[in-house]
Amino acid sequence: MKNYKQNADFLYLGKALLAWYGIYGRDLPFRKTKDPYKIWICEIIFQQTRIQQGLDHYNKFIERFPDVASLAAAETDEVLLYWKGLGYYSRALNLQKAAVQIMTEFGGVFPDNYNDILSLRGVGPYTAAAVSSICFGMHIPAVDGNFYRVLSRVFADDTDISHSSSFAYFSELALRLMPPGEAGTFNEAVMDLGSEICRPRNPLCDQCPLQKDCRAFQLGRTAEFPVKTKKTAVKELKLTYYFVRFGNEILIRRRAEDHIWKKLYEFPDEVPVNLLPVVMETNTVYHKLSHRNLSIDFVDVFPEKRTEFEALAQAGSYQIVTLEQSLLHSFPKPLENYIAAQVARP
DNA sequence: AAACCGGGGAT
DNA sequence: ATCCCAGGTTT
C-alpha cells in the first residue's frame, strides 16, 4: 500500500457515495430483490456486458428459469437459446453446471457465504463478493472495472490494473471506504458512479459527489486513470460457411466444444461432396466484425439430389431443419442474422 | 502471467 | 479503428 494512504480513514467517502446513490442510483429490475439466485444470474449476465445490452436477456431468463431448480432441470440447449446474442457462451454452460451443483452439493439451497458461493462453477472473486454482500450482508468489496476506475482516480493511484495483484490492492483500498453494514449498497453505488459519472471517457466530474476529494480531478488528470499497460491483442479469425438450402430446408450442426461458440449451432464449412454439382450464388455475403471475418456462400441443392441431401442427416453429420425451425436453435449472432435475412427474403 | 472467450455501444 | 463493459477459466 502506498504511503499516502497509510493510517488514513476514508469512510466519509463511502458515506458520501451512499448518500449520492440514495438519490441518483439507477432503478434496475434486480435492485428490487435480494434473492441470491436472481442476483447471481444478473452478475453473470452483466460480466463484460453493458446493462442496456443484457437487460432484456435478464428479464426473459428469470421469467423462464425463476429458480435454481428450474435451471438445473433445463436442457442445455434451451439455456443457450436464452443466452443467444450475449456472447461468452461458456457463462451459460457454467451457469447450468452451477445450478446442478447447488442441487447436489447444497441441497437445492443457494449457499449463503463467500467461500461456498466462490466454489460454484463460473463464479470468481468478483461475483462471489457481489452476491454475498448484496444478499447476505457480508463485508466484502465487489471489485470490478468500475472500482478500478473510481478508486484509481480518487487517489490518483497509478497502480497498474493489468497486473493480477491489483485486485487485492484495490480490494484493500475499497475496504477503507466501505461503511459497516452497507457493503451491498456500497458496491452497487460504486458501480453506478463508475457507469454514470466516473465514466472511462468524458467523466461528469461536475456531478460527482467525490469531486472535492478526487486527486485526479484536482490535478486535471482524470484521463490518465486507471493505468492499464497491457494492450488487448487483436487476433484475426476467418470463418467460411455454406448456407446449403434445399427448398425451405437447410443443413446445420452443433459446433465442437474446443473453440469459440462452443455447443452453438453452425452451417457446413464445406459443400458436401455428395451434393455436387450445386448452384452457388456468386456474390458472397461478407460479414465484418471487429476481429473476425465471416463469409457465407449461398448454395442451392438440385432437386434430384434429395436422397443425398437426406443421407447427410442419416449419417449424423448434419441436421435438416426448416428455416423457421432453425431459429429455435442457438446460433452465433452473425449466423442468426443471416438466417433471419433469408427467412425475410421473398 | 498471459491467452482465450462475444457482442455491442461510444468515441 | 480502438476501447471497454457488474470477469472467469485454462494453460
List chain C nucleotides near protein: any atom < 7 Å from a Cβ: 2-9
Q: Does residue A214 lie within 7 Å of nucleic acid chain C, judged by its CB?
A: no
CB A333 within 8 A of CB A53: no
According to the model, what pLDDT value does residue A150 have? 98
| Helices A183-192 & A125-136 angle (0-180, nearest 10) | 120
Mapped onto helix, strand or coil, the DSSP state of residue A321 is strand
CATH 3.90.79.10 range(s) for chain A read 237-344
Torsion, Cα A43 A112 A120 A178, to 10 degrees, reads: 50
CB A181 within 8 A of CB A138: no
Task: Tell me whether residue A43 is one of the annotated catalytic residues.
Answer: yes
Beta-carbon contacts of A136 under 8 Å, excluding residues fewer than 6 positions away, are: A36, A112, A113
Give the CA A202 to C1' B11 distance in Å: 10
Give the CA A256 to C1' B8 distance in Å: 25
Fold of the A3-224 domain: Endonuclease III; domain 1 (1.10.340)
Q: Does residue A121 lie within 7 Å of nucleic acid chain C, judged by its CB?
A: yes
Show the cell assigned to A198: 466516473
The label of the residue with cell 435438416 reads A320
Residue A332 burial (10 A CB sphere; 0-12, 13-18, 19+): buried
* Residues within 7 Å (Cβ) of strand B: A 48-50, 52-53, 85-90, 162-165, 201-202, 230, 233, 235, 259-262, 289-290, 292, 332-334
- Confidence band, pLDDT 50/70/90 cuts, at residue A346: low
Q: Does residue A51 lie within 7 Å of nucleic acid chain C, judged by its CB?
A: yes
Q: Does residue A127 lie within 7 Å of nucleic acid chain C, judged by its CB?
A: yes
Which protein residue lies nearest to nucleotide B3, measured between its Cα and the C1' atom? A233
Which protein residue lies nearest to nucleotide C10, measured between its Cα and the C1' atom? A258
d(CA A219, CA A210): 14
CATH 1.10.340.30 range(s) for chain A read 3-224
What pLDDT digit, counting tens, does each position of A323-333 carry?
999 999 999 99
What pLDDT digit, counting tens, does each position of A312-326 carry?
999 999 999 999 999
Average pLDDT over residues A307-311: 97
Q: Does residue A191 lie within 7 Å of nucleic acid chain C, judged by its CB?
A: yes
What pLDDT digit, counting tens, does each position of A4-37 carry?
555 568 999 999 999 999 999 999 999 999 999 9
d(CA A113, CA A159): 30
Give the CA A165 to C1' B1 distance in Å: 11
What pLDDT digit, counting tens, does each position of A71-105 carry?
999 999 999 999 999 999 999 999 999 999 999 99
Q: Does residue A192 lie within 7 Å of nucleic acid chain C, judged by its CB?
A: yes
DSSP string for residues in A239-288? EEEEEEEETTEEEEEE--SSSTTTT-EE--SS--GGG-S-EE-SS-EEEE
Query: How many residues would you count in chain A?
Result: 346
What pLDDT digit, counting tens, does each position of A182-219 carry?
999 999 999 999 999 999 999 999 999 999 999 999 99
CATH superfamily of the domain spanning A237-344: Nucleoside Triphosphate Pyrophosphohydrolase (3.90.79.10)
For A168-180, what is the HEC assignment?
HHHHHHHHHHCCC
List chain B nucleotides near protein: any atom < 7 Å from a Cβ: 1-11
Give the CA A243 to C1' B4 distance in Å: 28
CB A222 within 8 A of CB A216: yes
What pLDDT digit, counting tens, does each position of A271-302 carry?
999 999 998 886 677 777 767 788 999 999 99
Give the CA A341 to C1' C1 distance in Å: 27
